[in-house]
Amino acid sequence: GDEEVGVALLTYPVLMASDILLYQSDLVPVGEDQKQHLELTRDLAERVNNLYGGRKWKKLGGRGGTIFKVPEPLIPPAGARIMSLTDGLSKMSKSAPSDQSRINILDPKDLIANKIKRCKTDSFPSLEFGNSERPECNNLLSIYQLASGKAKE
């Protein structure tokens, strides 16, 4: 057709699955919106184990009956979905056009502090978790909870 598909659409999920399977991970930390990415890994592990595991694997010198562990998702109770610093209704994403909307893994400490100070907030005078009318407040409190290690309460 006339449309083109970037090769990363096809290669990235396989590379991710390869990393997970190579290290024989039992649990893989993912956000709630990324659980489906782990399904390919699970499918590949189960298929290889069914096709080549068991007696065939033992004949080749392998131990046990499986070649790959079938990993489970580890979805944390807090921070499973961090929202954008510029829009409390959008997921934080490295593909967002504004660098201000996210915290990059290599951002220095002072830049992260500056991004947090400049992020979108609301005009209410107090802080509260769980109010759907205050998504930016929920997001900031969630980030603080993760960074400080304090409980929601």
151: tokens are 């409980």
pTM given for the model: 0.63
102 has pLDDT over 90: yes
Domains and CATH numbers, the chain: 7-74 (no CATH), 78-152 (1.10.240.10)
User: How far apart (Å, rounded) are the C-alpha atoms in residues 151 and 52?
Assistant: 46
Kindly report which listed range (56-60, 77-81, 87-91) carries the lowest average pLDDT score: 56-60
Rg (CA), the chain: 21
pLDDT digits (tens, 9 = 90+) for 17-34: 999 999 998 999 888 777
Mean pLDDT of 116-127: 86
